[in-house]
Every structure is written in C-alpha cells, then in structure tokens.
Amino acid sequence: MEMRKWKMDTALIHAGQEPCEKTGAVASAVVPAVAYAFTDVDAAAAVVAGEREGTYYGRYGNPTIASLEAKIASLEKGEAALGVSSGMAAISGALLAFLKQGDHVICTRDVYGGSYKFLTSLAPRYGIETDFVDCTDLAAVMRAIRPETRVLYLETPSNPCLTILDIGQLSRLAHAHGLTVIVDNTFMTPYLQQPLELGADVVVHSATKYLNGHGDVIAGFIVGKREAIQYMRRHIMGDLGQNLNAWDAFLILRGLKTLGLRIRQHCQSAGEIARYLEAHPAIERVYYPGLASHPQHELARRQMSGMGGIVSFEVRGGLEAAKTFMNGLRLAMISFSLGDPETLVQHPASMTHFAIPSGEREAFGITDGLIRFSTGLEDASDIIDDLEQALQPLLKQVASSG
C-alpha cells in the first residue's frame, strides 16, 4: 500500500515503521548504541562526509530515532525531520539554523514563555534582535520587516491565549520578502494542522506534549527541507549536544500510535468545557477557537481540522481568584506541562510565562486572572464537576461584589 494514500490514523501506526527484517518483531527496536562499526576506512569516511547514508556516532542519531524521524516527517508532509532533546532544543535549533549575528526576527506577540526568553536573553548575546508583533495584523507584520529580517516565527494557536494566525497569508507575505517561516505546531500536532501544507518552511514541536502524550518524555522535533534538516543535524543539534535518546524515541513511537484516539477525546472534552465555562458567571472570558465568540473562529475552522485540547480563561477577581480556583481543584492538577492523559492546569503569569515582564504580559493578554487548562482524557463530566466545585467560592465573591 502506498503510504501517501493512508489516512492519518493509519499513518500514525505504520508510517516510517516496518517489522524487523531479521526477527519479524513488530515493535521498533531500542538501539542505544553510541559507536557504529564500519567494514573499512573508506566506508566510515563516506558516512562522515555525508556521501553515504548511515550513522557513525550516537550524538547524531540512531536507528530508533531514524524511524521516529521518518514518521514525523511523513505526518507533517515534510522532506525530513530531526529529533532533539526537548521542545526548546527544537525552537532554538530551528532559529539558530537561519539566523546569525546582525539578523532580525519577527515573532508573534503572545508566544510561549520559553521562546520569549530565548529570543530576549540568549539570542541578543549572539547579535540577534527580535520584535514581538501582533501577527493577526498583516500591516503590522509588514511594518516590522527590516532589511536584516530573516525569520518570521509563529505559534498558532498561541500559548496561552489561543490566538489563531493565518499561516497561508503570513507565509506569502514573508516569502515575498525572503523570510523563512517557522511555526510551532505543538498545540495542534499534525493530526489537526499541517503548517508546511499551508505554506510554512519549518515546523517545530515539543514532543513532550501531545505527540508522546503520556507525560514521561522530554523531546522535540524540527521538520522541513532535507538540506536544512541535515544542516541542523550536523551543525546545530550535533555541535550543541541536543540529541534525543533511543528510549525516549521508542516511547514517542509508542505514544504516536494512539495520537488520533487521544486528540479526538481531548478536542471533544475541551469543547464541552469551553461551553460550560463561557456560561459561568465567575468567568470573565474564555479563549477557545471552537467557540463562535473567538475572534478567529472562522479562520480556525478553515485552517484546523479540530480545535485542540487547551482551554484558556480569565476568572473574575484577578490573581487571588485564580489562586482560590486552582487550589480548590481536586481532579485537575497544577502542573507546567500539557497534553497528558491527566487534566493539568497552570497560571501563565506566575508559571510558564513568568520570564515575560509584567507590562508586556498584560499587552500580550496574559492577565493575572488567566488560567491555561489542558483537558485530559478523564470523563468530561468528571472534569466539569471538578470545575464546578472549584468555582463555587468565586461565585460568592461575584455575588458580594455585584
């Protein structure tokens, strides 16, 4: 069967994976080897020079990781993929591959705190400048482009406010000015959105989240043109020591097989929760692209095949109300991650986005009352019951202030 004809749920199981030729084993082998032997000096030299396919040292990959990279590239409709040690390794590696001293980046305004920190702390040490721009406004993006601009960095839906950006329009604008478009697709996964098909050049993922889906791996991926990925493997990931390991690659291969089942449940439950929260008097505002009230709802319907498992919302009463609510949860757990089977909740202003100065956080829409809610795989009615009891104290505050 031709792989390109497979539906996504089939590709998740079979793409990039074949039974072992020697043993017939269906599950991928875990190959933790560091060293690889060669028949002669010329064969070793050819692999090192890139003239022949092969692995020569564990820091640059291994057969287990290669299977996973082939699968990720296939799912994202890219030429090649690179597995790295974390989502931040993917983000920093992709940016460093296209930037050098004196270059400039345009980055979407409400972005993951780790991306913001890299672009404002490490990147300037290497002479790289960044402007954070409202990328829902094409004119604003156009105004921000300088002669030295090299990269447009997007995150859609954004973390944590779930702003949806038009990847196609932004890519056309960027390419007209010779920019490379990098898109963080962590929240959507290739199951719900394929940025390369929409016009982007490079996709990055924190595989720690939905791709692995079980909260027991830290990993990242970069997907793009083969030449660019090969450059990153040899000169970014390899030289910086950002390599993935075989066991984590095996766990992600295993996790990916149920991605479709998991994502569908995440989306269904998140939709129910968003509708429940939008109607709740203790909630100021709900950010969820599946709601008609979301400012980019129609764009989300065109660009994404599902609305994702993250719901962000503002509670009435600011920081103290947010603390009261989060501390009152019994099923949902306070945690920094997302995309796990467990429902996880966090307070961006004091947790994942703390690195962003308070004034800029407010400008980006990250208020003290904002909560990011990663809907797990529990029964949706149990999650809503937990929300209901945790919101009760806030209802009393709303009533007394009203």
Q: Which residue in the list 110, 184, 340, 386 is annotated as catalytic?
A: 184
Three-state DSSP class for 224?
strand
Collapse the DSSP code of 402 into the 3-class scheme (helix H, G, I; strand E, B; otherwise coil) and give the result.
coil
210 labelled catalytic:
no
Q: Is 134 a catalytic residue?
A: no
Beta strands per DSSP E along 173-307? 180-184, 202-206, 220-224, 283-287
Active site residue 7: no
Catalytic site residue from 71, 109, 150, 209: 209
Q: Phi then psi for 220, rounded to 5 degrees? A: -145, 165
Tokens of 107: 């980055």
Beta bridge partners of 334: 345
Pick from 384, 186, 377, 164: nearest CA to 263: 377
> 368 is written with which tokens?
């003290």
Tell me: cis bond preceding 281? Omega within 30 of 0 counts.
no
The residue among 327, 274, 352 whose CA lies nearest residue 116 is 352
**Residue 396 a catalytic site member:** no
* Cβ-based burial of 140 (10 A; exposed 0-12, middle 13-18, buried ≥19): middle
In the structure encoding, which two tokens stand for residue 69, read together?
A: 């990279």
Own/partner contacts of 179-183, CB < 8 Å, gap of 24 or more, are 179/106, 179/145, 179/149, 179/150, 179/151, 179/152, 180/98, 180/150, 180/151, 180/152, 181/151, 181/152, 181/154, 182/94, 182/95, 182/98, 182/151, 182/152, 182/153, 182/154, 183/154, 183/155, 183/156
Catalytic residue among 9, 36, 57, 59: 59
Nearest CA-CA partner of 106 in 160, 168, 178, 159: 178
Q: Which of 326, 334, 318 is nearest to 368 (CA)?
A: 318
Q: Which of 71, 109, 110, 112 is catalytic?
A: 112
Residues forming the active site: 59, 112, 184, 209
